Chain A
C-alpha cells in the first residue's frame, strides 16, 4: 500500500517524460547554431528559423497545409455535426452501423484508408488529379473527431429543448440556430481543433494521395530530410508545434469547458 503511491507517481512522471521529451528535443534542436541536426545543440541561434522563413518550399507547404486543414475541417464540421445529430436524435436500429461507418477511418490503419481511396479514385477515373482524393482523405480522417465531440455534447442533453422552442414560435431552423447550436458549439470547437490538427499533421493519407505538384508540410519535411539533415527541419517542426499550441489555447479560451 505504502509503496504503490510513489510507484504510480514515478510511472506518471515517466509517461510525461516519454511524451514530452521528443518535443523538447525538437525545439532545442531548432535553436542549434551548428550545421547539422544534432542533440544537444552546439550553441544557440535563431538562424535556422531565418533560413526556413526564406525557403519558399517550406512556406508554400505550410500555407498549403493550412488551407487544406481549414477546408477539411470546415467540411468535416458540417458533415460530422449532421452525422452526430442524426446518430443521437434519430438513429434507431441503424445507430451502431452509422457510428462504426463514421469512425472507421479512425479504427482502420491510416494506410488502409489511403490505399482504399487510391483504388477508388483510380477506378472512377480521377486518380490523384485535382487534389480531390487528397481532400476526401483528409475529410475522412478528420470526420470522426468532429463526430465524437459533437456526439458527446449532444448526449445527455434534453431533446425536448428544441421542441420547446418550436412551441414558443421558433421555426425548425431558428430552433436549431438559437438552441441546439449554442449547446453543441463547444463540442464543435473541440472537434474542429482536433480535425485541424489531424489534417495538418497526417502523413500516410497525404503521402499516398498527394499526386503531383505542391505537397502538405509533413510530406515536404519528409522529402527534405531524405537529402538534408540540417536544423531547418527542426525549425519547421517547432513552428508547427507552436501553431498547434496557439490553436488549442485560443479555442480553450473561447470555448473553455464549463
Chain B
C-alpha cells in the first residue's frame, strides 16, 4: 500500500529550478530518507509535501488522493523542524496540546493524549517547563511528541538532529527509529549525513541538483551505487579504472597493472574496453607483497580506535584500506592488496565512456 506518491514533482523559484521532476513512492509505515548535499532540494521536497510551497508541476498523492492543492493544515502531517520550532510562550504540555486543540478535541481527551505522548518521549517531569528551560535533546523530543500526538498519517523530519552534539545525535537516532517502528508511521526524513540515513532508513533516496540519483535500501546504495557520485557521497569509495581483458555473459575479467586478473560479476551490457569498479575501504585486505591482486606501499596510516585506515599508493592510484587494529603495518612498508571480488561493483554509466562498436 502506497502512502505518499510524488509524481514528477517540479519546483521552480523564478528562473532557478530546485526540483527537476522528483518521482517517489513511499510505502505504508516505511522510513525513507532524503539524502544529499546542501542545496540539492531535500527541504524543498519536504516543503512541497507539507504544503508550504506550491508545486510548479507534478502531483503529490496521499493514499492515491491528489493533495497538491490542499493547505498545510488540511494534509494530516506531523513535522519536525531542524530548529524544533517549539512555541516559546507555551509550556511543554501546552505545546503538545496545541494540535489537539486545533482538532477541537475534548479537554479530558487532550489531557489524556498529552500525558501519553509525554510519557512516550520520557518528558513527563518537564510538562510545565518552557522550551528555553530544556536542553537541546529534550526540545527535540518535545518537537517529536508534538508532531506525533496528533496521530498524523505522515511524519516529516527536516534535519532534526543537525543541532545536537555527536553523542546525543547517536542516541536520538536510535530513539527516533524505535519510536517510528513502534508507532508504525510513514516517515520521510531529510538529512545530509549519510550515516544517519543508512542507520535509520528502510530506504535511502540520494538526491543531487534537484534530481533523484538513486532510491534503494541502505545496503544497495552502499554496495551497489547507481553512479560514481552516489558511490562517493555515501561513504569512502575507491574507484579503479581498469582495462577489460575478457567479457563473458555474467562475468567480466579485468586486467590489473601488475599483470594479474580481476573477475567481477555484472559489468557493462555492451562490450567495452575499460570499466570503472568500486571497492569500499573495508572490502580490501592487506597481504604480503605479491600475495594479493596488486602491490602497493603504505603512504599514510591513521589509527582511529576501532580500526586503522591506510592510504596505499598503487599503480591504480592511492587506495583507502580499512583494517582491524590487529593488522598493523608501518608507513612506508610494501604490501599486497586483495579485493573482496564478490563485492567489487562495476559502476553503471561508466561503460559508455569507452564503449567499442559492437563486433
Residue numbers of A with Cβ under 8 A of B are: 158, 160-161, 163-171, 174, 178-179, 182-183
Contacts and interface: CB of A to CB of B under 8 A. Distances in A.
Interface of B: 50-52, 71-73, 75, 77-79, 81, 83, 85-89, 98-99, 102-103, 146-147, 150, 152
Nearest to A185: B89
A182 B130 CA distance: 15
Contact of A167 (B79, B83, B88, B89): B79
B102 A170 contact: yes
A182 B88 CA distance: 10
B85 A168 contact: no
Given A170-B73, A170-B102, A171-B73, A165 B87 contact: yes
Contact of A169 (B52, B73, B83): B73
Contacts of B99: 168-169
A165 B98 contact: yes
B79 A164 contact: yes
Contacts of A183: 88-89
Contacts, number: 61
Give the interface SS of chain B, mostly helix, strand, loop or mixed.
loop
| Residue from B77, B83, B86, B102 whose CB has the most chain A CB atoms within 10 Å | B102
A161 B85 contact: yes
A73 to B, nearest CB: 24
Given A158-B81, A169-B103, 13 more contacts: A158-B85, A160-B83, A161-B87, A161-B88, A163-B85, A164-B86, A164-B146, A166-B72, A166-B73, A169-B102, A170-B102, A171-B73, A179-B87
| Residue from A161, A168, A174, A178 whose CB has the most chain B CB atoms within 10 Å | A168
Nearest to B88: A183
B98 A163 contact: no
Give the interface SS of chain A, mostly helix, strand, loop or mixed.
helix
A178 B88 CA distance: 12
A173 to B, nearest CB: 11
Please list the 8 inter-chain residue pairs (A to B) with the smallest Cβ-Cβ separation, ordered nearest first. A169-B102, A168-B99, A160-B85, A164-B85, A166-B72, A167-B79, A160-B81, A161-B85
A168 B88 contact: no
Contact of B150 (A158, A166, A168): A168
A169 B83 CA distance: 19
Contact of A158 (B50, B78, B83): B83
Nearest to B80: A164
A167 B77 contact: yes
Contacts of B86: 161, 164
